[in-house]
Structure 1
Amino acid sequence: MASTIRWGVLGAAAIATGRTMPAIQAAPSATLLALASRDLAKGRRVAAELGIPHVHASYEALLADPAIDAVYVPLPNQLHFEWALKALQAGKHVLCEKPLCISAEQVRQLCAERDRSGKHIEEGFAFRNHPQWAKLDEVIAAGTLGDVRSVHATLAKQFLDPADVRNNPDAGGGALYDLGSYAISACNLVFKRAPARVVATLDRDPNFRIDRLSSALLDYGDRHAAFTVGTQAGSDAWGTHQQFSVLGSRGWLRMNFAFAHARPTASQLEVGDASSVGAFPTTTYTFEPANHYLLQVERFSRLLLGDKVPSWPIEDALDTMRTIEALFTSARQDSWQDVAR
Structure 2
Amino acid sequence: MTKLKVGILGAARIATTKVIPPMRGCHYAEPVAIGSRSLEKAQKAAAELGLAKAYGSYEELLADPEIDLIYNPLPNHEHVPWTIKAAEAGKHVLCEKPLGMTEADAQRLLEVRDRTGKAIQEAFMVRTHPQWHKARALVEREIGELKAITGHFSYHNVDPANVRNVKEWGGGGMLDIGCYPITTSRFVTGMEPKRVAAVIENDPTTGIDRRGSVIMDFGPFTATFTYGTQMAPRQTMSFVGDKGWVEVEIPFNAPNDRPCRLYLDKGELRQDERQLIEVPTCDQYGIMMDAFAKAILDGHQQPVPLEDSMKNMRVIDAVFRAAEHGRWEEVAAG
Coarse TM-score class (shorter-chain normalised): over 0.9
Q: Match for 1:268: what amino acid?
A: R
Q: Is the 8 A contact 1:185 1:316 kept in 2?
A: no
Q: Following TM superposition, by how much is the alpha carbon of 1:233 offset from its aligned partner in structure 2, in angstroms?
A: 0.6
Q: Is the 8 A contact 2:132 2:188 kept in 1?
A: no
Q: Following TM superposition, by how much is the alpha carbon of 1:5 offset from its aligned partner in structure 2, in angstroms?
A: 0.8
SS in structure 1 opposite 2:37? coil
- Paired positions, count: 333
Aligned to 1:105: 104
Q: Match for 1:338: what amino acid?
A: E
Q: Is the 8 A contact 2:72 2:83 kept in 1?
A: yes
Q: Following TM superposition, by how much is the alpha carbon of 1:289 offset from its aligned partner in structure 2, in angstroms?
A: 3.1
2:246 aligned with 1:253 = yes
Q: Is the 8 A contact 1:73 1:94 kept in 2?
A: yes
**TM norm structure 2:** 0.94
2:268 aligned with 1:270 = no
Summarize deviations over 1:111-149 as a string: whole Å, max 9, x none. Answer: 1211222211111111222211111122233x2111222
Aligned to 2:311: 319
Q: Is the 8 A contact 2:127 2:187 kept in 1?
A: no
Q: Is the 8 A contact 1:302 1:309 kept in 2?
A: no
Q: Is the 8 A contact 1:36 1:58 kept in 2?
A: yes
CA distance in 1, matches of 2:4, 2:25: 13
Q: Is the 8 A contact 1:299 1:309 kept in 2?
A: no
CA distance in 1, matches of 2:299, 2:16: 27
Q: Match for 2:243: what amino acid?
A: R
CA distance in 2, matches of 1:282, 1:338: 37
Q: Following TM superposition, by how much is the alpha carbon of 1:309 offset from its aligned partner in structure 2, in angstroms?
A: 8.3
Of residues 328-337 and 253-262 in structure 1, the stretch that sits farther from structure 2 once superposed is 253-262
List runs of 5+ in structure 1 lacking aligned partners: 236-240
Aligned to 2:286: 294
Aligned to 1:238: none
Aligned to 1:333: 325
CA distance in 2, matches of 1:106, 1:184: 19
After TM superposition, the structure 1 = structure 2 runs for residues 172-211 of structure 1, keeping only pairs within 5 Å, are: 172-211=170-209
Aligned to 2:54: 55
SS in structure 2 opposite 1:212? strand
**TM norm structure 1:** 0.93
Aligned to 2:71: 72
Structure 1 vs Structure 2 CA RMSD: 1.8
Summarize deviations over 1:291-326 as a string: whole Å, max 9, x none. Answer: 111111222222222186861112222112111111
Out of 210, 220, 228, the position equivalent to 2:226 is 228
CA distance in 2, matches of 1:252, 1:279: 13
Q: Match for 1:248: what amino acid?
A: G
Identical-pair percentage:
36
CA distance in 2, matches of 1:318, 1:172: 17
Q: Is the 8 A contact 1:27 1:297 kept in 2?
A: yes
Q: Match for 1:35: what amino acid?
A: I
Q: Is the 8 A contact 1:107 1:314 kept in 2?
A: no
SS in structure 2 opposite 1:234? strand
CA distance in 1, matches of 2:255, 2:11: 17
2:133 aligned with 1:134 = yes
CA distance in 2, matches of 1:280, 1:90: 57
Out of 284, 292, 308, the position equivalent to 2:276 is 284
SS in structure 1 opposite 2:46? helix
List runs of 5+ in structure 2 lacking aligned partners: none
CA distance in 2, matches of 1:109, 1:309: 20
2:20 aligned with 1:28 = no
